[in-house]
């Protein structure tokens, strides 16, 4: 039975303080503050110029998803219950207004950073965006040829009248509203036109160097449209042309009661994602108010839902610019991930029979995980492979390895999560390809996304007496089986052949593919059954140690912290005297540093070259130093509505590595660490130390040294002052 989490189950001490909701930070506002930190990082010291552009664009992508999911959810709550209250005690309508105000500030900061800082500095380096107003005669002639040759045959201008209703505008597509004057060939008065830009059109075009006069001359699609849109309406006066974009609700709904084939049902729902209810209008700042009002009425939006911008309405498309520029000093230095020495030149299975292997991505390569699967597919002694798939990419050597293994006669099972948001289509395609190759494909459990990262390989071997038996080999991770994100996200992966962990993973796969009561496991915690209870148990154990005057300590790293009963347990532990350091990249609802509530808790967020993604939990445990890696953040959805795992690092050598690399080093970061204040605001950590320390930079240097030393990477030294403080 799933455990319900209720506010009346919170530690009793909290009733002596203000209402518990007042001790929480609003989720939506917390997400926006994370994006504010990402945006602020664009100005970080020594950050290469094109990388600064990337950070500004990344914020746009993050905001797109924020509006598609979180703001869309707020609008639905307002529609269904205008008096609704969020978990932090704010009225939902208050949250909506606050979100609109803060998002508007962020957007303004984005475009200010782009137009007043980054673009001028790019121009100094020979990367120039040519606006239509600045073209000379030769450049304009080239642009006209490009427009008529590459764009005109594809574009479809639509004038608005009773016979030409407003077209269906897709989610996040680029569109232009054109103000017109005069009459057409049929004598009709023409006032407005709409031109939609197909997604196949390049948003940034490179002008020939000899015409640009600069090493890199770039022209935006919107510049072509503004200059030559009149040719799409011949004989009609064009009074103005303004780009706009609409963001829509992107959530999908499939009825559990009615669906007989989940893949088929979801496949039928996907096209509707592009045409959900509108939640945001982005439009060029110069658009006249009557045009803006017309668009807001068309999409059933209010004034708070309108974002006027000074530049391209879709900054995400500018992420293609760094790939167009061959200037290494304007980008991060290339980095080749390290291959652990124990994984070089030896069978993966032989290595794992001797020792566990820890992989720290992206500093260490994802290749050993792929080799693990590929060797299993080729090995005659391997009988079965089982794997969970959440995100893997449209091109995936991991998926190809599963297909190859099935074709070699292995019993291959793939638990594919079809509802991995925005990867649904990719996962549908892979599930079809896997099934066609003979892989047994299942889709987890309806209503509970399978977010756990597990691979199980069963191999027939002989013991010391020559008696055959089946041995299990396992990979468990904090991140996805996605080779590209393994180069961009920080994650831990554990390869092991420990018998009890293999047995635990076996039971979990049985639960996912079959049915039955939750299994009793040796080491793994698993949501939605034991993970939440175990976390609370560990936190409360540290609190009890502190009350008895014994050393107590918690360090936890994750992407988000929102679940109220976990937060309450942390508050209670802080009141008991437990020192708690939380490293939370994104949104955190807990308020640190509140006297009498959380004065022993610190919260920091690391923003750097890589996306901080691993989940690591440390408990002092009366000197036992217990370390768990997990697929789960401390959120309601992860702990109660998903299939997740947390697994211990049992090897002391590897446990020390996780502590050093994953927890203690980030706690020393005085370069890219933001400290959360009790009011939910963040301040960039300012250190009096002469030497600035970036945890990601230190790890990059550390593992580069390992490559220079033939793959052998010594343990990072532990700062003795830190150990003293922790104990």
Cα 135 from Cα 152, distance rounded (Å) = 20
User: Which is it for the CA torsion 654, 644, 365, 342, positive or negative?
Assistant: positive
pTM of the model: 0.91
Query: Shortest CA distance to 471 belongs to which of 501, 450, 492, 444?
Result: 501
Task: Specify the pLDDT at position 9.
Answer: 41
Note whether 671 and 690 are same-domain residues. yes
> Does residue 539 sit in the same domain as residue 634?
yes
With contact defined as beta carbons under 8 Å apart, do 250 and 42 qualify? Answer: no
- Same structural domain for residues 159 and 220? yes
Helix ranges restricted to H, 126-190: 137-146
Burial of 266: CB neighbours in 10 Å, binned 0-12, 13-18, 19+: buried
Task: Tell me: do 305 and 383 sit in the same domain.
Answer: no
CATH of the domain at 380: 3.30.870.10
Judge contact between 618 and 583, C-beta under 8 A: no
What's the chain's length in residues?
727
Q: Which of 330, 354, 375 is the last residue of a domain?
A: 330
In the numeric block, which tokens belong to residue 318? 């500018």
Q: Compute the distance between CA of residue 38 and CA of residue 42 in angstroms, rounded to an integer.
A: 7
- Partnered with residue 642 across adjacent β-strands are 449
β pairing state of 454-462 and 682-684 = unpaired
What is residue 3's predicted lDDT score, i.e. its pLDDT? 34
- Does 385 map to a domain? yes
Query: What is the Cα–Cα distance from 518 to 512, expressed in whole angstroms?
Result: 10
The reply, when asked if residue 171 is annotated as ligand binding, is no
**In-domain check, residue 248:** yes
- Residue 641 marked ligand-binding: no
Q: What residues contact 404, with CB distance under 8 A and at least 6 apart?
A: 374, 377
Is 585 annotated as belonging to a binding site? yes
Residue at which a domain ends, from 307, 330, 353: 330
Phi, psi for 621 (deg, rounded to 5): 50, 55
Instruction: Count the Cβ atoms, other than its own, within 10 Å of residue 495.
Output: 24
What pLDDT is recorded for position 717? 54
How many domains in the chain? Answer: 3
Residue 112 DSSP SS3: helix
Range of the domain at 571: 525-726
- Please enumerate in sequence order all residues whose Cβ is within 8 A of that of 259, keeping only pairs 6 or more positions apart, or say none: 265, 446
Domain co-membership, 409 together with 303: no
Predicted local confidence at residue 721, as pLDDT: 39
Q: For residue 15, how many C-alpha atoms fall within 13 Å in the half-sphere facing its CB?
A: 6
What distance in Å separates the CA atoms of residue 442 and residue 422, rounded to the nearest whole number?
19
Residue 101 domain flag: no
489 marked ligand binding residue:
yes
Residues 352 and 480 in one domain: yes
Buried b (16+ CB within 10 A) or exposed e, 677-708: ebebebeeeeeeeeeebbbbbbbbebbbebee
Domain boundary among 295, 330, 365: 330
Helix (H) or strand (E) holding 653: helix 652-657
Catalytic residue among 41, 361, 451, 620: 451
Identify whether residues 546 and 482 lie together within a single domain. Answer: no
Alpha carbon distance 525, 90 (integer Å):
34
* CA–CA distance, 295 with 289 (Å, rounded to integer): 10
Q: Are residues 422 and 533 in the same domain?
A: no
Tokens of 585: 């990249």
CA 562/CA 308 separation, integer angstroms:
32
Q: Same structural domain for residues 719 and 609?
A: yes
Query: Residue 304 corresponds to which tokens in the numbers above?
Result: 């708070």
Number of H helices, E strands in the chain: 23, 27
Q: Residue 247 pairs with which residues in a beta bridge?
A: 280
Does a structural domain hold residue 626?
Answer: yes
Which tokens sit at 317?
A: 């498309």
421 is in an annotated binding site: yes
Residues 6+ apart with CB under 8 A from 465: none
In a domain, 16, yes or no: no
Dihedral sign, Cα of residue 321, residue 324, residue 330, residue 333: positive
Residue 295 domain-assigned (yes or no): yes
Low-confidence spans in the chain with pLDDT less than 70: 1-21, 252-273, 687-690, 706-727
Strands (E), 292-343: 306-309
Q: Nearest Cα to 318, choosing from 306, 308, 307, 309?
A: 309
404 in the same domain as 324: no
Residues 323 and 375 reside in one and the same domain: no
Tell how strand 204-207 and strand 216-220 pair up: antiparallel
Residue 362: asked if its preceding bond is cis (omega within 30°), the reply is yes
- Cα(614)–Cα(695) distance, integer angstroms: 14
410-420 residue pLDDT tens: 999 999 988 77
d(CA 418, CA 391): 9
Q: What is the DSSP letter of 677?
A: P
| DSSP letters spanning 111-127 | HHHIIIIIHHHHHHTTE
Cis peptide before 332, with omega less than 30 degrees from 0? Answer: no
Annotation says 451 is catalytic: yes
| Distance between CA atoms of residues 191 and 180, nearest Å | 5
325: domain CATH number is 3.30.1840.10
Closest-CA residue to 575 (of 8, 10, 14) = 14
Domain identity same for 422 and 361 = yes
Asked whether residue 585 is domain-assigned, the answer is yes
- Count of CA atoms in the C-beta half-sphere (13 A) of 586: 21
């Amino acid at each position: 039975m799933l455990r319900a989490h209720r506010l009346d189950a919170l530690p009793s001490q909290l009733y002596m303080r203000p209402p518990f909701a007042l001790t929480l930070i609003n989720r939506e506002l917390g997400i926006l503050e994370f994006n504010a930190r990402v945006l602020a990082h664009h100005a970080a010291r020594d950050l290469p110029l094109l990388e600064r552009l990337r950070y500004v664009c990344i914020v746009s992508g993050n905001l797109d998803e924020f509006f598609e999911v979180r703001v869309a959810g707020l609008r639905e709550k307002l529609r269904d219950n205008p008096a609704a209250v969020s978990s932090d005690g704010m009225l939902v309508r208050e949250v909506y207004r606050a979100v609109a105000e803060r998002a508007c500030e962020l957007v303004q900061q984005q475009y200010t950073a782009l137009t007043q800082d980054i673009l001028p500095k790019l121009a100094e380096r020979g990367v120039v965006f040519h606006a239509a107003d600045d073209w000379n005669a030769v450049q304009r002639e080239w642009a006209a040829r490009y427009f008529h040759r590459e764009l005109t045959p594809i574009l479809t201008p639509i004038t608005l009248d009773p016979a030409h209703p407003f077209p269906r505008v897709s989610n996040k597509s680029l569109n232009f509203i054109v103000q017109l004057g005069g009459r057409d060939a049929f004598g009709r008065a023409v006032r407005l036109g709409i031109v939609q830009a197909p997604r196949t059109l390049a948003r940034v075009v490179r002008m020939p160097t000899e015409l640009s006069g600069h090493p890199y001359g770039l022209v935006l699609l919107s510049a072509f449209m503004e200059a030559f849109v009149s040719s799409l309406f011949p004989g009609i006066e064009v009074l103005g042309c303004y780009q706009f974009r609409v963001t829509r609700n992107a959530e999908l709904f499939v009825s559990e009661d009615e669906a007989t084939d989940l893949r088929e049902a979801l496949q039928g729902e996907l096209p509707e994602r592009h045409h959900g209810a509108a939640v945001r209008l982005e439009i060029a700042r110069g658009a006249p108010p009557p045009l803006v009002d017309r668009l807001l009425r068309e999409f059933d939006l209010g004034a708070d839902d309108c974002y006027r911008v000074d530049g391209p309405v879709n900054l995400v498309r500018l992420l293609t610019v760094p790939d167009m520029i061959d200037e290494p000093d304007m980008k991060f230095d290339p980095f080749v991930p390290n291959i652990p020495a124990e994984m070089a030149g030896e069978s993966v299975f032989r290595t794992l029979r001797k020792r566990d292997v820890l992989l720290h991505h992206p500093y260490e390569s994802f290749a050993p995980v792929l080799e693990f699967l590929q060797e299993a597919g080729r090995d005659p002694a391997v009988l079965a492979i089982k794997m969970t798939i959440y995100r893997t990419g449209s091109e995936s050597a991991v998926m190809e390895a599963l297909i190859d293994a099935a074709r070699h006669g292995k019993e291959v099972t793939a638990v594919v999560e079809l509802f991995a948001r925005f990867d649904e289509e990719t996962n549908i395609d892979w599930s079809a390809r896997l099934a066609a190759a003979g892989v047994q494909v299942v889709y987890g459990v309806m209503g509970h996304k399978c977010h756990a990262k597990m691979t199980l390989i069963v191999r027939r071997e002989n013991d010391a007496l020559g008696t055959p038996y089946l041995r299990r080999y396992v990979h468990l991770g904090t991140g996805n089986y996605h080779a590209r994100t393994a180069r961009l996200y920080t994650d831990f992966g554990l390869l092991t052949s420990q018998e009890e962990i293999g047995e635990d993973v076996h039971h979990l796969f049985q639960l996912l593919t079959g049915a039955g009561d939750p299994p009793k496991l040796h080491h793994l915690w698993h949501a939605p059954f034991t993970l939440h209870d175990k976390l609370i148990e560990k936190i409360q154990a540290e609190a009890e140690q502190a009350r008895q005057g014994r050393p107590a300590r918690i360090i936890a790293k994750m992407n988000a912290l929102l679940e109220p009963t976990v937060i309450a347990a942390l508050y209670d532990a802080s009141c008991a005297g437990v020192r708690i350091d939380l490293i939370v990249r994104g949104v955190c609802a807990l308020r640190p540093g509140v006297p009498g509530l959380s004065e022993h808790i610190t919260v920091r967020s690391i923003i750097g070259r890589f996306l901080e993604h691993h989940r690591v939990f440390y408990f002092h445990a009366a000197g036992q130093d217990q370390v768990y890696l997990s697929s789960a953040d401390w959120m309601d959805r992860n702990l109660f509505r998903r299939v997740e795992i947390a697994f211990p690092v049992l090897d002391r050598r590897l446990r020390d590595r996780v502590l050093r690399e994953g927890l203690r080093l980030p706690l020393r970061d005085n370069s890219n660490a933001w400290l959360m204040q009790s009011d939910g605001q963040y301040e960039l950590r300012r250190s009096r130390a002469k030497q600035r320390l970036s945890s990601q930079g230190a790890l990059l240097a550390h593992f580069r040294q390992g490559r220079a030393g033939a793959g052998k990477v010594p343990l990072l030294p532990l700062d003795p002052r830190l150990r003293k403080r922790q104990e």
